[in-house]
Structure 1
Amino acid sequence: MGTPATSGQAAGLVVAAHGRHYAVALDGGGQRQCYTRGKKSGPAVGDRVLIRMEGDQEGVIVGIEPRRNLLYRSDALRSKQFAANLDQLLIVLAPEPEFSEDLMGRALVAAWSAGIEPIIVLNKADLTAALERARARLQPLADLEVHIITLSALDAGQVRRALDPVLHGRRSLLLGQSGMGKSTLLNALVPTAAAATQAHSEALGTGRHTTTSTRLYALPGGGEIIDSPGFQAFGLQHLSVHDIEQGFPEFAEAIAHCRFYNCTHQHEPGCGVLAALARGEIPPTRHALYRRILEENGAAQRY
């Protein structure tokens, strides 16, 4: 810890969060239910914290150790922290119900801008016909050398064979829209998690959110995995213009050829990114996402 524990205090790891209530696993053993005081931003699962003991089972979080990274989303109304100090982000997708390329793209931008390695887990591999369409939609990311793992979460043995080498010794966040099979995947990785699963409703074309809190699990083969509630929106208003550019690694080489140092890659003459887009080297869908995020953040007006 950056701040050493004194008498009546203890250091630990935030292993679960629900609202402003946190479960902290203490370094010396045991777990405490903790909360924060005041309106300042609270900790996230994966944070190292210092707590002041209260009674036999509770505590107040009084300090947070500096983070390596923090993955979160934000819009004009609120922010939602997913997890801290991550090595990688596993984005769970499926051929059915159809996943949102916009939401997936935003999660990738958030990960890349925070220096977190993204991995796509394409679930429901048994849906053969739909699977090929999903792979075609993911081809631009495969071209960027994003690791894409195809499996069926219903086959626990297959899940462990595919993911154990990827997860071993690392802290990973499991993230996905509702209906993608995220909870089934977690149950295959951590049988003791007893995560609730909800059958996909064919009539509605969507699944129900089955995870209501964020929780860290130790993996049987080593490493940690954090499960977070499904999401239907992914605002990125906390990102700077530079952060947004970092979220589009396919722009990097082209940016070096921009005529203007403060190019927005939208309309400027001599823009390397627009030239690469015209040559077909950057997918139009990715550039369109970049422009949407800039517009939402009001970044274009800052130049």
Structure 2
Amino acid sequence: MKNKGNDAARPTSKEREGIIVKALSGYYYVVDDELDTTIQCRARGIFKKRGQSPLVGDRVVYEETENGEGAVNGILPRTSELVRPPVANADLAVLVFSVIRPELNLQLLDKFLVHIEHAGLDALIVLTKLDAAERSDDAGRIGRDIDDAVALYEGIGYPVLAVSARQGTGLEELRGLLADHVSVFAGQSGVGKSSLLNALVPGLAMETNEISEKLGRGKHTTRHVELVELPSGGFVADTPGFSQLDFQELGIDEIGSCFREFRELAQGCKFRGCTHTHEPGCAVLAELEAGGIAESRYRHYKEFMNEWKDKPRRY
């Protein structure tokens, strides 16, 4: 997360404030704070000179121009900034993972959690397609996997909610958890993010695609980041599906500190800067040996450490 106090003058008599809900093809779509309208804006050239770009979620100062459009004059201070997806001022990450087609991928979930912990956001894990899992020939095994995942991540401190967009299961609880937040929906393609948003926001009708039986994954139905206003209050950013997160790109240097259950334990390690892989007197390794850390979480941590070390540093 980058906390930025962007230098933006307070609005003049011609200027108004609003929030960018969509950025597409060089245009920024700003919802005015007071008027029930969305203004299509361009950004002033000053941003390019400063090396800045307005982001979806930015609170901005804008003014209407003669052609009926608008111009973004300034960006108000950000509380957070995500690199991928590029969203400003989000305070909650909703990590959407399906339990079938595609199968629940805990390694990818842990990679997303590293990203979110590094950004300083709260996280909510949402498991989708309960109805499809119940109809599956492998329903028993999938049910056990769901129970195990809920126990694991709730034990670490992450809330987990299992839902079905088609049946409406869990949606009322989800609406309550999203109210008054700027949330980011993130997850790989085909997990049902757009279907979930369609169920949460009546009349939204976002494009969805069936999962490819051959590839086991979905097509990218969301091609840009966009904030959707929720009837219960707050905004949700639906983001393009993706399955790769690059630790170097995200600027993450201390992967261990992004594993919640490692953070407190690390204070008891014998050596400062302990990597929790081989050092004597490592509190994390001792807890792993005692069964207090899930083997899957530690295995993924080592995989991420190797991935981080194997990639060339970027300067």
TM-score (norm 2): 0.83
**TM-aligned CA distance change 1:110 to 1:19, over 3 Å:** farther
Partner Cα distance (2:312, 2:237) in 1:
37
One-letter amino acid of the structure 2 residue matched with residue 34 of structure 1: C
Partner Cα distance (1:240, 1:197) in 2:
33
TM superposition shift of 1:160: 3.3
**TM-aligned CA distance change 1:294 to 1:54, over 3 Å:** farther
Partner Cα distance (1:184, 1:259) in 2:
49
TM superposition shift of 1:117: 1.3
Are the aligned partners of 1:159 and 1:185 in contact in 2 as well (CA < 8 Å)? no
Residue 104 (structure 1) aligned with residue 109 (structure 2): yes
The one of 196, 209, 212 aligned to 1:201: 212
Residue 133 (structure 1) aligned with residue 145 (structure 2): yes
- CA-atom RMSD, angstroms? 2.6
The one of 5, 18, 24 aligned to 1:18: 24
Are the aligned partners of 2:27 and 2:42 in contact in 1 as well (CA < 8 Å)? yes
Q: Percent identity?
A: 36
Q: Structure 1: which 5+ runs fail to align?
A: 74-79
Are the aligned partners of 1:10 and 1:52 in contact in 2 as well (CA < 8 Å)? yes
Are the aligned partners of 1:94 and 1:134 in contact in 2 as well (CA < 8 Å)? no
Name 1:142's counterpart in structure 2: 154
User: Match of 1:276, SS?
Assistant: helix
The one of 188, 194, 199 aligned to 1:188: 199
User: Match of 1:133, SS?
Assistant: helix
One-letter amino acid of the structure 2 residue matched with residue 106 of structure 1: K
CA deviations on 1:226-245 (whole Å, 9 max, x unpaired) are: 21111121223233434x33
Are the aligned partners of 2:165 and 2:171 in contact in 1 as well (CA < 8 Å)? no
Residue 241 (structure 1) aligned with residue 248 (structure 2): no
Greater than 6 Å deviation, 4+ residue runs = 299-302
CA deviations on 1:70-95 (whole Å, 9 max, x unpaired) are: 2233xxxxxx51x2222211111111
Q: Structure 2: which 5+ runs fail to align?
A: 1-6
TM superposition shift of 1:137: 4.3
Name 2:3's counterpart in structure 1: none
Partner Cα distance (1:301, 1:124) in 2:
39
Name 2:95's counterpart in structure 1: 91
TM-score (norm 1): 0.86
The one of 116, 122, 125 aligned to 2:127: 122
Alignment of 1:1-303 (within 5 A): 3-6=9-12, 8-18=14-24, 20-29=26-35, 30-36=37-43, 37=45, 38=48, 40-51=51-62, 53-73=64-84, 80-81=85-86, 83-96=87-100, 97-126=102-131, 127-128=133-134, 129=139, 130-156=142-168, 158-237=169-248, 238-242=250-254, 244-298=255-309
**TM-aligned CA distance change 1:236 to 1:9, over 3 Å:** farther
One-letter amino acid of the structure 1 residue matched with residue 159 of structure 2: H
CA deviations on 1:126-167 (whole Å, 9 max, x unpaired) are: 2131233243345421321311111211024x3432212212
Are the aligned partners of 1:12 and 1:25 in contact in 2 as well (CA < 8 Å)? yes
Partner Cα distance (2:280, 2:66) in 1:
66
